[in-house]
C-alpha cells in the first residue's frame, strides 16, 4: 500500500530535498508509483532512494507529519509513504483508516490505473475528517495506491488458484 499525502500549504521554501541528488525531482506518474515503487517494495527489491518512506500512516494524524516531508509533486506539497493496512475484524474485506483524532473518508470510486492496456492497480481518494464534527474536515487529501492481484501474480498461477478454491 502506498499513500501520497497532499497538503494545501507549500513548505518547500524553507527546506531542501536531501534524498535526491541536485537537479532531480520526484514527480512520478500513477503507473510508475505502482509498477516500479510499490511492486518492487512488495517483492523485496531495493529502491533507488529513500524518497518513499515506511511509516504506520494510520497511527498518525496528518498534522503530525513534518513540514519538510511535503516537497514533492508538481506543486511541491506532496509526501509519499509506504504503509500496511489494518483490516477491521468484523468485516475482513474492509480496511480501518482511523487515526488518533480523526479518520480518512473515501470519496468516490476507485480509479483503475493502467499501463498500456493492462490494469496494474487502483487509486482511491480520501479526505481527512476530525472525530469532533464541529471541526469538519481538514485540508488533507490522500491518494491510496494498491496493486491489482493479476499484476502481482502471473496469470496462469492466478487461474489455477481460483480453480483450486
Q: Could you read off the pLDDT of 19-45 as tens digits, one per residue?
A: 666 767 788 899 999 988 998 888 888
CATH fold, domain 30-86+95-151, is: 2.170.150
How far apart (Å, rounded) are the C-alpha atoms in residues 154 and 81? 26
Q: Which residue has the cell 537537479?
A: 23
> Looking at per-residue confidence, does 97 or 113 come out higher?
113
What would the pLDDT profile of 42-73 be if each residue is shown by its tens digit?
Answer: 888 888 777 888 888 777 888 788 777 788 87
- CA dihedral of residues 54, 126, 58, 115 (deg, nearest 10): -30
Residue 164: per-residue pLDDT: 43
pLDDT winner (highest mean) among 149-153, 156-160, 161-165: 149-153
Residues 144-154: what's their mean pLDDT? 79
Half-sphere exposure (CA, 13 Å, Cβ side) for 11? Answer: 17
Residue 154: per-residue pLDDT: 59
Q: What is the pTM of this model?
A: 0.74
Amino acid at each position: 500500500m502506498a499513500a501520497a499525502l497532499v497538503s494545501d500549504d507549500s513548505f518547500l521554501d524553507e527546506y531542501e530535498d536531501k534524498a535526491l541528488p541536485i537537479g532531480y525531482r520526484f514527480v512520478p506518474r500513477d503507473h510508475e508509483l505502482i509498477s516500479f515503487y510499490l511492486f518492487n517494495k512488495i517483492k523485496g527489491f531495493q529502491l533507488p532512494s529513500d524518497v518513499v518512506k515506511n511509516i504506520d500512516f494510520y497511527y498518525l494524524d496528518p498534522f503530525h507529519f513534518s513540514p519538510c516531508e511535503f516537497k514533492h509533486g508538481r506543486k511541491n506539497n506532496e509526501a509519499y509513504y509506504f504503509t500496511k493496512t489494518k483490516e477491521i475484524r468484523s468485516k475482513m474485506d474492509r480496511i480501518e483508516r482511523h487515526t488518533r483524532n480523526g479518520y480518512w473518508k473515501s470519496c468516490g470510486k476507485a480509479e483503475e490505473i493502467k499501463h498500456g492496456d493492462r490494469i496494474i492497480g487502483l487509486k482511491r481518494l480520501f479526505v481527512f475528517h476530525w472525530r469532533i464534527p464541529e471541526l469538519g474536515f481538514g485540508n488533507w487529501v490522500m491518494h491510496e495506491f494498491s496493486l491489482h492481484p493479476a499484476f502481482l501474480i502471473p496469470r496462469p498461477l492466478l487461474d489455477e488458484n481460483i480453480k483450486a478454491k
